[in-house]
Structures are given as structure tokens and as C-alpha cells.
Amino acid sequence: MKISNLERQKNEGPDALPSEERRKFLKFGLGVTGVFLGGSVLSLTSTRNALGEMGPVPPAGKFPYEPHYSMVIRQNRCIDCERCKEACVRTNNVPSFGYRTTILELEKDLGRGEKERVFMPVLCNHCNRPPCVRVCPTSATYKDKTNGIVMMNQKKCIGCKTCMAACPYNARYFDERKGIRAVDKCNFCFDTRISKGESKTACAAACPAQARIFGDLTDYSSELYKLVHAPEKVVWVLRPETGALPNVFYMND
């Protein structure tokens, strides 16, 4: 190995190194020094096995997933009846001090003294590059390898709330109730509905105006796919500048 070659290599920087990678690296170090993998404390013999622990660094985002769950919000249809919120609370045991989805309100100035009310439903965007997953020190929050849903493993959560600070969408809350005491969030009703064969999340099913369309972005026949790819429609995401590549798409129809 030539030092001069190494010097010419680009610094990866901290952006490309998620917590999980750091943990793997530390494990690798412990493996080299023989604390793990059956070596004695001073041995350096088990490096080959230790290297196996390291694994290749995965690309920044491996997508699409299959199924690639996402949601389209037809914003102009939302009338803030909040049936989605009620359904979510009922389905997912959401405490009164938190929310998994909520409705934001803004007033658009149309000029000539006219104003327009706009209701904007928000929820976890299940980003392809989730900032919350990147910062979690215990891997308690993770991106599901098959369907891409950003999940919580509450047993691992230490309640540091770093993920809450990292989330660009304010989609997480700390469930401080006794026996839980962990961060919680929307998981597209995976445990309560989708894994049980339901085709819609509780919020999408409760919406009287079909403002929320849930589906699989890789399923060409799904309504969601057709909406997102309708050539005459403008589709946008919230806070694209964060580079999180969200999976909740907004449009007016």
C-alpha cells in the first residue's frame, strides 16, 4: 500500500457513514484485538474472521424495495375532518401527547384580499435515505430490508431522541407511558393492518375524500403508481433539500 495513493483518495466524510457502520467498525476492531471471536486479549490471529464481520459498505440507498410502500396525498382534497387521525389513534395505540399523522393548516394569499385555506396531511415519509436511521446509536430504528418501511425496535431504543431531532418531518414522538418509554412513529400500519393482509393503512381507509392513497410504487397497476406517474400532474415532496428521498408524494387533482 502506497501512502501517496491513499492521500489522493477522497475523504468519505461523516455523511456517508451511518451509525451502523461505525458499530460494525468497532466490532471489527474488537475482533482484531481478540476481545471477540474467541481470541485471547493479546492475540491478533483471528483477523480473517473479524474481516467477515465488517462486510461491504452498502450503497446509500438500495431501492426500490419490493413492495416499495409509499403514499400519495392529494392535498386539495383534504378538508381536515381528521378522521384519519382518529383512525390512526384507534389502530395504533397512539397517546394523546403524540401523533403519527396530523394535519397542518396554512393560508395562501391569492391577492385582491382573497385567501385560500390549505390543509396538509403529514406523516413519516419513510425516506429512502432516512436521517433518523443514520443517527440512531443503537439501530433501534431501521429501514426494513424488504419493504423499506422505517420501523422501530422499541426494545433497543434508549430514548436519546436524536432521531426526533434528525427527522426533517417532525414525524416522531417519545412515548413516555410506563412500560413503553421509547420513541414511536408511523410504520404504515405494518404491524396492525398491512402484515395482516389489509391493503390500506388506517388513515387511508378512513379518508372520506380519498385524499390519501397508499400503495406499492413498484406495482404498475396500482392507483398510487398511476397517480405518481400521471404526466399532466405536478407531484412534489416536502423538504427535498434534505436529500432524504421521501416516499410520501403530494399533488393536487
Partner 1 sequence: MKRRIFSLELILALVALVGIMAVGVGQAMGEGDEDGGKIIFTKPVKAVVFDHANHLAQGLDCESCHDEIFQMETGSAEAGDDFTMASLYEGKYCGACHDGETAFASNTRCTVCHIGVKGYNKETSTGTEEKKGHE
- Applying CB under 8 A, the residues found at the interface with partner 1 are 76-77, 79-83, 103, 105, 116-119, 208-209
Least Å from the CB of residue 82 to partner 1: 5
Pairing label, strands 172-175, 141-143: unpaired
94 versus 166: smaller Cβ distance to partner 1: 94
What is the DSSP code string of 41-84? TT--TTHHHHHHHH-PPPPS-----SS-EEEEEEGGG-----HH
3 versus 110: smaller Cβ distance to partner 1 = 110
> Is residue 78 classed exposed, middle or buried when 0-12, 13-18 and 19+ CB atoms within 10 A define those classes?
buried
Q: Judge contact between 236 and 74, C-beta under 8 A.
A: no
Q: How near is the Cβ of 222 to partner 1 at its closest, in Å?
A: 24
> Please, which residue, 74 or 126, has the CB nearer to partner 1?
74
Q: How far is the CB of 236 from partner 1 (least distance, A)?
A: 19
Min dist CB 176 to partner 1, Å, is 22
Provide the minimum distance between the beta carbon of 83 and partner 1 in the complex, in angstroms, as a whole number. Answer: 7
What DSSP line would sit under 9-40, residue for residue?
SPP-TGGG--HHHHHHHHHHHHHHTTSSTT--
Nearest distance, CB of residue 213 and partner 1, angstroms: 17
The residue type found at 130 is P
Mapped onto helix, strand or coil, the DSSP state of residue 230 is: coil
In this complex, which beta carbon is closest to partner 1, that of residue 117 or of residue 161?
A: 117
Q: What single DSSP character describes residue 224?
A: H
Q: How far apart are CA 121 and CA 106, in angstroms?
A: 11
